[in-house]
Amino acid sequence: MNDTSTLKPGHIQGETGIWEMVIGLEIHAQISSKSKLFSGASASFGSEANRNVSLVDAAMPGMLPVINEFCVEQAVKTGLALNAKINNISVFDRKNYFYADLPQGYQISQFTKPIVGEGEIIVDLDDGEQTTIGIERLHLEQDAGKSLHDQHPTKSYIDLNRTGVALMEIVSKPDIRSPQEAGAYVKKIRSILRYIGACDGNMEEGSLRADCNVSVRKSGEEFGTRCEIKNLNSIRFIIQAIQSEAERQVDILEEGGTIDQETRLFDTSTGETRSMRSKEDAHDYRYFPDPDLLPLEFSESWVQDIKEKLPELPDSLKKRLIKDFGITSYDASILVEEKDYVDFYQQAANGRDGKLTANWMITELFGALKKDNLSFSESPITSENLGELISLISNGTISGKIAKEVFSEMMKSKKSPSEIVKEKGLEQVSDDSEILKLIDQVISDNQDKVNEYLSGKDKLFGFFVGQVMKLSQGKANPGVVNKLLKEKLK
């Protein structure tokens, strides 16, 4: 066997050589609209079964779809944020298939003329590298309803609340070469969607899900036959599913078999994919233009208005944070991942030490929130209070060590740092005469060690510093203690 430890991500060592993965993603993002794509029923999550259903969604005869302008605007906004071509004329098609949670018997989608065409985004990888992933298209479509199969031994229960909710399907080019890149791509898309407010990106509630197309090939060869893994709802599952699917394909090919193009499901309990439906007729959707809907048209000036209102996006924000606050590219990419992080950081770091603020936010605050199982929005520490803590450190009121104590108190009590410092008497002591008193005490208590030091045992200096700090309960300014001790022990 060859050593696999040096394999690049996305490469698989087989008996016949190294295989490379080729991956393309279809991301389904639920648009953050109040009502559905073609009806005025609520698009909210978690209501009573069939409460948010209109007669249009239930596909009653004679009901006609009317498109939601807000949803169109979000698709255009997303297209612009993906640096993509906006199609001022697009067409809705019917994608025909039968399923109990699809009362129309077809999904209204866009096939040959989507609202957004080709684009590209830059993706940040864990090693600090960047790569560009092409966008093939983005189109608008309806979500299906929900089937519950575990309520009854022989029946399925159908809830149409999600039927007709607006989705954007964002299709990447097959530019992705490793599971890690796929994860980073989804993260970036989610971050962009959240910045512009087009989708809340909540993967647990299913607002963002991905289908992964995976194939393998030897480097430089043509693309192999792909399989599609459906409906992955976490970045961790996306990474696991792609790795396991690619390994499955390599095993088959190396044994001389061929890959069937098919749809597969990821089983989260086994960590493996399995075949979902027979390929017979699976993709025979008989698309045709929906006769209930005219082509969707909008003017170039409407697109320009949306473009002007776009907020600053993660890439440009990252550059600005590096320039304005002097932080590292790595720290900046963590901070721009979420709009909430950047807003918090900019408020906390405003007029203060940017690097110190970034350290405290990323290491201490994120760490403490994770430990307490809190989301960022539940942080007991406000940006104002973190900023104040940074000021107290920077102006020497407290030492870095005391600051950690103040910080954990802030996590518990939500009090401001200055309040805590005052209540507990934690101000750093920098006053020479006070520190000299402590030094005198330490010297008189340790006369034997002083004699040893004076007779050449230099290493004991650290011991004296430690004793003085201890006596001050950590409040003495270590710099001043050092300086004064040196003078005293000459």
Partner 1 sequence: MPNKDTIVDVPTVNKIARLSRLGIPEGNKESLTNDLNNILGFVAQLDEVDTSNVEPLASVTGHKLPLRSDDVNDGNIEDLVLKNAPERSSGFFVVPKVID
Q: Which is nearer to partner 1, 53 or 411 (CB)?
A: 53
Structure tokens at 428: 């750093």
Q: Which is nearer to partner 1, 289 or 380 (CB)?
A: 289
State in angstroms the smallest separation of the CB of 145 from partner 1.
9
Do residues 167 and 31 make contact, with C-beta atoms less than 8 angstroms apart? yes
- How far is the C-alpha of 122 from the C-alpha of 100, rounded, in Å? 40
* Cβ nearer to partner 1, comparing 47 with 350: 47
Q: Binding of partner 1 at residue 58 (CB under 8 A)? A: yes
Establish if 52 lies at the interface with partner 1 (CB under 8 A): yes
User: Which is nearer to partner 1, 131 or 261 (by Cβ)?
Assistant: 261
Q: Taking CB under 8 A as the rule, does residue 207 contact partner 1? A: no
Name every residue whose Cβ is closer than 8 Å to that of residue 487 and which is 6 or more positions away in sequence. none
55 binds partner 1 (CB under 8 A): yes
Compute the least distance from the CB of residue 55 to partner 1, in Å.
7
Regarding 88 and contact with partner 1 (CB under 8 A), the answer is no
Q: Using CB under 8 A, pick the residue from 49, 436, 460, 489 that binds partner 1.
A: 49
CA 36 to chain centre: 26
Binding status of residue 96 toward partner 1 by CB under 8 A: yes
- Stretch of 94-102, 184-192, 319-327, 369-377 contacting partner 1, by CB under 8 A: 94-102
Residues 19 to 38 in contact with partner 1, rule: CB under 8 A: 33-35
The region of 42-50, 246-254, 415-423, 443-451 touching partner 1 under the rule CB under 8 A is 42-50
- Helix axis angle, 447-454 relative to 432-445, nearest 10°? 90
- Closest CB 53 distance from partner 1, rounded Å: 5
From candidates 294, 310, 374, 454, binder to partner 1 by CB under 8 A:
294
Dihedral sign from CA coordinates of 159, 163, 166, 168: positive
Q: Give the Cβ contact number of residue 102 at 10 Å.
A: 21
Chain centroid to CA 129: 17
Beta bridge partners of 227: 214
Look-up: residue for tokens 């909430």?
340
Site string for partner 1, 61-80 (x = CB under 8 A): -----xxxxxxx--------
Q: Under a CB-based contact definition with an 8 Å cutoff, are residues 332 and 322 in contact?
A: yes
Question: What does the angle CA 473 – CA 477 – CA 483 come to, to the nearest 5 degrees?
Answer: 125
Among 1, 3, 8, 154, binds partner 1 (CB under 8 A): 154
The verdict on 99 binding partner 1 (CB under 8 A) reads yes
Neighbours of 42 (CB within 10 A): 17
Instruction: Count the neighbouring beta carbons within 10 Å of the beta carbon of residue 263.
Output: 18
Among 91, 192, 349, 468, binds partner 1 (CB under 8 A): 91
Nearer to partner 1, 49 or 368 (CB): 49
Angle at the Cα of 116 from the Cα atoms of 112 and 118, rounded to 5 degrees: 90
Distance CA 180, CA 264 (A): 20
User: Using the rule CB under 8 A, which residue among 293, 322, 362, 436 binds partner 1?
Assistant: 293
First-to-final CA distance of the chain:
66
Sign of CA dihedral 143, 149, 154, 159: negative
Question: Given the complex with partner 1, which of 41 and 481 has the nearer CB atom?
Answer: 41
CB of 234 to partner 1, least distance (A): 21
Residue 452 one-letter amino acid: E
Q: How many residues bind partner 1 (CB under 8 A)?
A: 54
Which residue lies nearer to partner 1 by CB, 54 or 104?
54
Integer Cα distance of 279 and 229 in angstroms: 13
* Cβ neighbours around 267 below 10 Å, total: 12
Q: Which of 13, 83, 131, 147 binds partner 1 (CB under 8 A)?
A: 147
**Residue 401 touches partner 1, criterion: CB under 8 A:** no
Residue 104: count other Cβ atoms within 10 Å of its Cβ.
19
Q: Which of 17, 40, 128, 326 binds partner 1 (CB under 8 A)?
A: 40
When asked if residue 489 is in the footprint of partner 1 (CB under 8 A), the reply is: no
Contact pattern for partner 1 over residues 272 through 291, marking x by CB under 8 A = ----xx---x--x-x--x--
- Residue 297 binds partner 1 (CB under 8 A): yes
247 is written with which tokens? 């390994």
The least CB distance from residue 212 to partner 1, in Å, is 18
- Structure-token match 């030091």, residue found: 453
Among 93, 124, 159, 211, binds partner 1 (CB under 8 A): 159
For the bound state, the minimum distance from the C-beta of residue 42 to partner 1, rounded and expressed in Å, comes to 5
Select 50 or 416, whichever has its Cβ closest to partner 1. 50
> CA–CA separation, 228 vs 260, rounded Å?
11
For residues 118 and 172, give the distance between their C-alpha atoms in angstroms, rounded to a whole number: 9
Structure token digits, residue 375: 């989301």
Query: For 397, which DSSP code?
Result: S
- Smaller CB distance to partner 1: residue 42 or 180? 42
Can you tell me the distance from the alpha carbon of 198 to that of 190, in angstroms, rounded to the nearest whole number?
10
Enumerate binding residues for partner 1 (CB under 8 A). Answer: 33-35, 39-42, 48-56, 58, 66-72, 91, 96, 98-100, 147-149, 151-160, 265, 276-277, 281, 284, 286, 289, 293-297
